[in-house]
Chain A
């Protein structure tokens, strides 16, 4: 691994620890000194039983939560001591989220939802950004759905909008928390294929939390979390 260029490295975790209720009698450590490296083009599944710390890990990597100890390098930048404004900015530009529930904002149209990460970062979208959002929508098969409201779409369609939204900032890392957990198998497969496609085309690393072994088998790499520690990290094919 050492021969990899820094430019290729998207994420590096060093001795990452996360505890809850720090300093209280109920203190509990959820992540116990994780080390992990994700490269560009990586497509990794994060698997593990409920309570193994998958979601916590994803939140910490996504800079939504702070680690108790250890360091997270995102695009080579150490993030532990960043203030909230810088973390938010980095999160907005470098990371795309796809949640289990689509988490679109009902008050906005499909197109506006896709544009949201750009709009919160830099205000009114430029023509080029609008084009990009429309292009992404057509790539996820939702051409002509621009002005619909999220609740006028099916579950699978909504999740595809969420994928388009995650990609609109051209992030280096996509964090997907059981993005297909709530979908029927056909929609699930569609969403998975989209992630796969964008991973290949844009080179963004994907870390996908899933319970579905059929999906994890299709990933290039499977990271297994057991009780807050990486028990297994295998590359396939």
Chain B
């Protein structure tokens, strides 16, 4: 291989202008791909982080209540007019066992039973409808880290304490330590004090969610010992769907992953990924065609030299390798510079661009881009290389 390397590098060095042009071309292409992929990956993980920051990856709920309809006799036909049943707030049967089973299930990071239902909060004359969430503070903190968004007070729900959002605090004029009355309907009321105020930055959550201890919520919602939902987080967020399906199969409960709940978002992310892939593919394709055309021209320019080398005893395989190496070298060198340039662009974006989000720099992206560009270089060189190898030395020397 030594002589092939030597000839390849000398040829590249001799055709300096040509090599430089295609080198810059490859670099620009790779820089665009690297920057684009880093940007979109960063953007998407940011969006997902924000979305999942306020919701569980999987929500497990009791199955919907259905009307039971008797099967008709074989000989008769029944026409049924069915009005669907109203779904009352119900507990998950044996939720403690489900919780314990999920605790030991691989792929699942955290499990937290929740009892959630509608309620009102009152202060003086003012009333607000809310979602009352009874949580196990320890477990819940691993599902949604409310402790990180507490702006006043502490993350504590036990013993008559409640956590409310900044918006609700504002609407009702509540401050830390203030009392408020929670009305679960049917004359079930209790008075709690504000132990902490949180701010997710999502209006709906900050104005409508109130967190109390599970027992308190159970008595307010008249479901003693109940949990209406089990929230689950998983190790791989994109495996949530499969994990949810597995849970549904094992427990017979309704398990909904964040991907189903956020179908619109997923759709948007998927379209974005698709467009990124398409742009990358077409840029890569034009880079490949660039390499192929430059090397094709080089084969024509070097026809005579190829003929001489063949007359000197160079084998066809050697000529083939000379041009494959040129393709590989162009791909490698171009992608190294392009990768660095792409990273530079990402760095500049992080430093000077919109500070809405930060693009993480993944070194594997550089490795992958370099590897792929090198392989692309070799593949692009295949056609010109085969032409070079197939040249008839007599013709090559005569007409080159």
Q: In the complex, are the beta carbons of A120 and B309 less than 8 A apart?
A: yes
Q: Within the complex, what minimum Cβ distance (angstroms) separates B327 from chain A? A: 18
With CB as the reference atom, state the residue of chain A lying closest to B6: A119
Q: Which chain B positions have C-beta within 8 A of A91?
A: 311, 313
Chain B residues, CB < 8 A from A97: 311-312
Contact of A121 among B6, B11, B313 (CB under 8 A): B313
Q: Which of A107-139 contact B (CB under 8 A)?
A: 107-108, 116-117, 119-121, 123-124
Residues of chain A from 81 to 124 with CB closer than 8 A to chain B in the complex: 84-85, 88-89, 91-93, 97, 99, 103-108, 116-117, 119-121, 123-124
A65 located at the interface, meaning its Cβ lies under 8 Å from any Cβ of chain B in the complex = yes
Is B393 interfacial (CB-CB < 8 Å)?
yes
* A105–B313 touching, CB < 8 Å: no
B14 nearest in chain A by CB position:
A107
- For the complex, what is the distance from the CA of A88 to the CA of B316, rounded to whole Å? 9
- Chain A residue with the shortest CB-CB distance to B318: A120
Q: Are A119 and B3 in contact (CB under 8 A)?
A: yes
Contact status B10-A62, CB under 8 Å: no
| Number of residues of chain B lying within 8 A (CB) of chain A | 24
Cβ–Cβ < 8 Å partners of B253 in chain A:
none
Bound-complex Cα distance A119 to B1 (A): 10
Whether the pair A107, B11 counts as a contact (CB closer than 8 A) is yes
Question: A88-B310, A124-B2 known; A106 and B14 CB under 8 Å?
Answer: yes
> Apart from A64-B393, A120-B314, what are 18 other A-B pairs with CB-CB below 8 Å?
A62-B311, A84-B315, A85-B316, A88-B314, A91-B311, A97-B311, A103-B397, A104-B308, A105-B308, A106-B14, A116-B312, A117-B313, A119-B6, A120-B3, A120-B309, A120-B315, A123-B2, A124-B3
Q: Could you list 30 examples of A-B contacts with CB < 8 Å?
A: A64-B311, A64-B393, A84-B316, A88-B315, A89-B315, A91-B311, A91-B313, A92-B314, A97-B311, A97-B312, A99-B397, A103-B304, A103-B308, A104-B308, A105-B308, A106-B14, A106-B305, A107-B10, A107-B11, A107-B14, A107-B305, A108-B10, A116-B312, A119-B2, A119-B6, A120-B309, A120-B312, A120-B313, A120-B318, A123-B3
A residues at B contact (CB < 8 Å): 59, 62, 64-65, 84-85, 88-89, 91-93, 97, 99, 103-108, 116-117, 119-121, 123-124, 165, 169
Chain B residues with a Cβ under 8 A of chain A? 1-3, 6-7, 10-11, 13-14, 304-305, 308-316, 318, 393-394, 397
